[in-house]
Structure 1
Amino acid sequence: MSRHSATAIGLIAVLLWALLALFTIGTDPVPPFQLNAMTFTLGGTIGLLWVAATNGWSRLRRVPLRVYLFGTLGLFGYHALYFSALRLAPPAEASLIAYLWPLFIVLFSGLLPGERLGLYHVLGALIAFAGAALLIAPDGNGFTGGVGLILAGLCALTWSSYSVLSRTAGAIPTESVAVFCVLTALLSVPLHLMLEVTQWPQDTTGWGAVLALGIGPVGLAFYVWDIGVKAGDIQLLGVASYAAPLLSTLILVLVGVASTSLTLLTAAALISGGAGLAAYGSALRQRNAPR
């Protein structure tokens, strides 16, 4: 698979994650860890069906145990930290800190063999983060919820580290993500039982939202993201990830949950400009690469 194709596949994850907020709203009143268990069960089942259809069981048996541990900690750790951060800190502030992960991906990628971090990638990431910050920043009353914000920072470090370190495991089959999802679902069950009261979707819309989450943002997204970060342009993927909160907000506007504003238009310009600058940096690097 070419680098360009892998990058394009990875970008599908960004589009799917843009639907995360809409589908999550539809699942109310299901609590977070119960929702995590339900949706990752669906995502893992999709992956296992793919493994069965392609007769990939032998490939899974060759995957080292440490890789399964690493992948499960990545998926489960990110969501456990994220949900805990939103419980202990104001959601907007925690989301802003958690959304440092694309910037960290861009910065950490410079440490990978064969990768070189360019000025355009760094500037693009910073500009795009400014756009994302406009969408989810607090209202000017200052940051509160210290422990929650620390957890949000750890959340950003967890997902960025997982994504970048996945690059070093390029020979590991993407089918292994199915096992990560199943184990993440299993680990979410005891957390749900200890911390939450079980509540089920109240109507067919709620069940449909759970199904959509499991198939898309908490299912297929992790498989295509795995392909992208292992074989694609990881700097460009990192900056392009800032399109997720922008697209998510636009979708909420279209369905009437949110309203358009100057802030939204400014954020759109910053995120698009930052992603464009990073793409230019990637194109420039490929043009100047030795033949």
Structure 2
Amino acid sequence: MSRTPAPTAAAAPDPAQARARLRATLIGGLAVALWSALALLTVLSGQVPPFQLTAMCLAIGGAAGAALSALRGGDPLAALRQRPAALALGIGGIFGYHFFYFTALRNAPAAEAGLIAYLWPLLIVLFSGLLPGERLRAAHLAGAATALAGAALIISQGGTLRFAPEHAAGFAAAGACALIWSGYSVLSRVAGHVPTDAVTGFCLAGAALSALCHLALERTVWPQDAVQWAATVGLGLGPLGLAFHAWDVGVKRGDIQLLGVAAYAAPLASTLALAAAGLAELTPRLLLAAALIAGGAALAAMGSRRR
């Protein structure tokens, strides 16, 4: 009589892969930390128009990336030599997000437009379920929704949100923001063969396109003093420079669902940074928002641990 073979035990997780995934997730979290300084540095940069500021900062970030590549013995121009699909994804993500974000703010109230644009972390969590090797769990969805509620408290500033029909064009542009950045983040996972150094080229191309938008739509205003120049350089080196490189590493090799939920900490940290600088007021609403965002991140982390 033949015997039925005993079931084999499931393969144990590879500790090296787990450590690499955690390291990439932490690097992606660095991007969220850098984006937390975006509001404060933007305020300190003065009255520079948005497209001009974006062009300047992306140029600084791209130049810094090229310089680091050269110091490592690499070819800085290699960042620009990518396949058309990779260029379209990277330039479309970095420049496209900023273009539609500023378009939204020109055509809709800032609070409502900002909240719609900041649906991108939730969309990242949703879209990640379509990626090979990823599994979307209920805890991820619950965490993203909870964190979104916390972000809404901050973005709305405690007021009543009113989505009036006359601002439909601005709301549509804000929706495009959310789709573009979430799509860029998730598709970057699929384009994992594209090196992170390519982000340097995306930044430089985005700077050129932003400069064209500035020349067509805005009046040039330069930073007026050392503080404003320092803030502009800080924006270019951090939130609009290193942050994009760190995010690329995180979404390609880290826990993309957890990063999506963690991104909702950025508006909270931005408000806290403004309060620390005396430019915003700490309120009980902020404490509630902090609890919601932290709780959402904890739920998402529970979902990721079940892997």
Q: Indicate the structure (1 or 2) with the bigger Cα radius of gyration.
A: 2
The alignment status of 1:220 with 2:239, answered yes or no, reads no
Q: Give the conservation status (yes or no) of the 8 Å contact 2:80–2:201.
A: no
Greater Cα shift, 89-98 or 57-66: 57-66
Residue 173 of structure 1 corresponds to: 195
What is the CA–CA distance in structure 1 between the aligned matches of 2:205 and 2:64, rounded to whole Å? Answer: 14
Residue 15 of structure 2 corresponds to: none
The alignment status of 1:135 with 2:154, answered yes or no, reads yes
Percent identical residues? 56
What is the CA–CA distance in structure 2 between the aligned matches of 1:17 and 1:62, rounded to whole Å? Answer: 28
Structure 1 pair 63–151 and aligned structure 2 pair: CA distance change class (3 A): same
What is the CA–CA distance in structure 1 between the aligned matches of 2:161 and 2:34, rounded to whole Å? Answer: 32
Correspondence for 2:95 among 54, 76, 97: 76
Structure 1 pair 32–59 and aligned structure 2 pair: CA distance change class (3 A): closer
Residue 226 of structure 2 corresponds to: 204
What is the CA–CA distance in structure 1 between the aligned matches of 2:181 and 2:226, rounded to whole Å? Answer: 32
SS in 2 for 1:265: helix
Q: Give the conservation status (yes or no) of the 8 Å contact 2:22–2:255.
A: yes
Map Cα deviations across residues 225-262 of structure 1 (whole Å, 9 max, x no partner).
Answer: 00000000000000000000010111111111111111
Residue 26 of structure 1 corresponds to: 44
What is the CA–CA distance in structure 2 between the aligned matches of 1:77 and 1:184, rounded to whole Å? Answer: 8
RMSD of Structure 2 on Structure 1 (CA): 1.4
Per-residue deviation, 1:151:
0.4
Residue 288 of structure 1 corresponds to: none
What aligned pairs does 1:80-95 form with structure 2 within 5 A after superposition?
80-95=99-114
Map Cα deviations across residues 92-115 of structure 1 (whole Å, 9 max, x no partner).
Answer: 111111000000000000000010
Structure 1 pair 2–171 and aligned structure 2 pair: CA distance change class (3 A): same
Greater Cα shift, 82-91 or 227-236: 82-91
Q: Which amino acid aligns with 1:79?
A: H
Residue 98 of structure 1 corresponds to: 117
Correspondence for 2:137 among 99, 107, 118: 118
What is the CA–CA distance in structure 2 between the aligned matches of 1:62 and 1:41, rounded to whole Å? Answer: 18
Q: TM-score, normalised by structure 1?
A: 0.95
What aligned pairs does 1:246-285 form with structure 2 within 5 A after superposition?
246-285=268-307
What is the CA–CA distance in structure 1 between the aligned matches of 2:132 and 2:35, rounded to whole Å? Answer: 28
Correspondence for 1:52 among 64, 70, 79: 70
Structure 1 pair 2–205 and aligned structure 2 pair: CA distance change class (3 A): same
Greater Cα shift, 56-65 or 12-21: 56-65
Q: Which amino acid aligns with 1:37?
A: A
What aligned pairs does 1:141-180 form with structure 2 within 5 A after superposition?
142-144=162-164, 145-180=167-202
The alignment status of 1:5 with 2:27, answered yes or no, reads no
Residue 42 of structure 1 corresponds to: 60
What is the CA–CA distance in structure 2 between the aligned matches of 1:100 and 1:207, rounded to whole Å? Answer: 31
Q: Give the conservation status (yes or no) of the 8 Å contact 2:47–2:221.
A: yes
What is the CA–CA distance in structure 2 between the aligned matches of 1:245 and 1:42, rounded to whole Å? Answer: 24
Greater Cα shift, 61-70 or 175-184: 61-70
Q: Give the conservation status (yes or no) of the 8 Å contact 1:59–1:173.
A: no
The alignment status of 1:187 with 2:206, answered yes or no, reads no
Q: TM-score, normalised by structure 2?
A: 0.90
Q: Give the conservation status (yes or no) of the 8 Å contact 2:114–2:155.
A: yes
Q: Give the conservation status (yes or no) of the 8 Å contact 1:103–1:126.
A: yes
Pairs aligned (count): 285
- In the alignment, structure 2 segments of 5+ residues that lack a partner are 1-18
